[in-house]
């Protein structure tokens, strides 16, 4: 199998597996006061310190969650409720039009069920949110904005957003800004030492840690209303028994990703560029999407005119090559990528795209395998589409 879908999930690092395996052999709830409980608590707090160090945060700012989706929900819902309860005028949620559904869907749910006003920030043809667009949106009525959420880097096309500039604009108006940095941490210089940034989401399984462990980093003074209620384990913000083995593996992966980021990004960027050249050599009219420079090192998102992305995906899968369409599917019916539509692409283009994403373990042999398979696959996909017409 040639695995080119690391943006969906990537392999757990052996170092993380070893530490989780060791931890699974121990007993102890980190909320318990006896010796085993205190030992588990020590592991949790050391994990918190490692993640804080990697992100340029303080340990107190790191709130553990069950993953990125939970962290995004806590940020969007919790910050809205906190702001709206303090001032009922604050009802507007501003999100970029290219957000992951873990942000889009909670924001829309808040509008449907909680009286919020949902508003999307426009992007340019590269998928970039410009600070001026955010300023314009806030200035329409600065007193009614509850929060802003703009992802650090897009999970489909790989465009990296100007988070520092966006956070500065939000800070001018006293509006909290949350960023989903799930794809960015370990790939680009993404961290919490950004003036005006209120909340940041990350998760373990995108950077060599386990599924089921994530975190929401909250600036001091940023106190969302809890979404989960129960034991109040994470400073009354997130209830639930802390998953000690997963957190240890999560922290190990984050620490290693931060330490190795520059060299890893350099290697991935070179391999990604080689992949794009190889595809263009065989399919000259393939279109590379996203920002040409401000992009994640491991993502190449390409449109193939005359093809249906899902058909092309299955043809490659039959050749042992795993990639992604990057589009949402509902009841087995492919939908155009909301990211490409927001970037100004037509529905046909949005349905003709594939995302190839690289990670640790990706090799030139993987690129060569794709280069050999993509041409015949595109020919078959185009021929099948023509026959249906």
Which residues are part of the catalytic machinery?
A: 329
3-state SS, one letter per residue, for the chain: CEECECCCCCCCCHHHHHHHHHHHCCCCCCCCCCHHHHHHHHHHHHHHHHHHHHHCCCHHHEEEECCHHHHHHHHHHHHHHHHHHHCCCCCEEEEECCCCHHHHHHHHHHHHHCCCEEEEECCCCCCCCCHHHHHHHHHCCHHHEEEEECCCECCCCCEECCHHHHHHHHHHCCCCEEEECCCCECCECCCCCCCCEEEEEEECCCCCCCCCCEEEEECCCCCCCCCCCCCCCECCCECCCCCHHHHHHHHHHHHHHHHHHHHHHHHHHHHHHHHHHHHHHHCCCCEEECCCCCECCCEEEEECCCCCHHHHHHHHHHCCEECECCCCEECCEECCCHHHHHCCCCHHHHCCEEEEECCCCCCHHHHHHHHHHHHHHHHHHHHHHHHHC
Tokens 């690391």 appear where? 6
CB-based contact 271:362 (threshold 8 Å): yes
CB-based contact 213:66 (threshold 8 Å): yes
Q: Measure Cα distances from 321 to 11, 186, 190, 302, 332 in Å.
A: 16, 25, 30, 16, 21
């Amino acid at each position: 199998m040639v695995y080119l879908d690391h943006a969906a999930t990537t392999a757990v690092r052996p170092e993380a597996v070893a530490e989780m395996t060791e931890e699974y052999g121990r007993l102890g709830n980190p909320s318990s006061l006896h010796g085993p409980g205190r030992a588990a608590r020590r592991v949790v707090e050391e994990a918190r310190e490692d993640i804080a160090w990697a992100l340029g945060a303080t340990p107190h700012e790191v709130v553990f969650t069950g993953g990125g989706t939970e962290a995004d929900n806590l940020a969007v819902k919790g910050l809205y409720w906190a702001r709206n309860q303090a001032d009922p005028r604050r009802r507007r949620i501003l999100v970029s039009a290219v957000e992951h559904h873990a942000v889009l869907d909670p924001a829309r749910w808040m509008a449907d069920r909680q009286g919020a006003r949902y508003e999307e920030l426009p992007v340019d043809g590269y998928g970039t949110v410009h600070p001026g667009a955010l300023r314009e949106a806030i200035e329409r009525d600065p007193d009614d904005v509850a929060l802003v959420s703009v992802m650090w880097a897009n999970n489909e096309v790989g465009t990296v957003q100007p988070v520092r500039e966006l956070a500065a604009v939000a800070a001018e108006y006293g509006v909290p800004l949350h960023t989903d940095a799930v794809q960015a941490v370990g790939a680009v210089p993404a961290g919490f030492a950004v003036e005006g940034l209120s909340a940041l989401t990350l998760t373990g399984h995108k950077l060599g840690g386990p599924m089921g462990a994530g975190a929401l980093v909250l600036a001091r003074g940023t106190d969302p209303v809890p979404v989960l209620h129960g034991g109040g384990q994470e400073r009354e913000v997130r209830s639930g028994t802390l998953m000690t083995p997963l957190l240890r593996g999560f922290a190990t992966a984050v620490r290693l990703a931060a330490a190795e980021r520059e060299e890893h990004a350099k290697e991935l960027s070179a391999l990604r560029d080689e992949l794009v050249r190889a595809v263009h050599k065989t399919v000259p009219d393939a279109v590379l999407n996203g920002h040409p420079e401000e992009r994640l090192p491991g993502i190449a998102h390409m449109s193939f005119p005359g093809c249906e992305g899902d058909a092309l995906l299955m043809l490659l899968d039959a050749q042992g090559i795993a990639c992604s369409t990057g589009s949402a599917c509902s009841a087995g019916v492919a939908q155009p990528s909301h990211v490409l539509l927001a970037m100004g692409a037509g529905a046909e283009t949005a349905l003709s795209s594939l995302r190839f994403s690289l990670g640790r373990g990706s090799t030139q042999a993987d690129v060569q395998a794709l280069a050999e398979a993509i041409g015949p696959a595109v020919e078959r996909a185009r021929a099948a589409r023509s026959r249906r017409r």
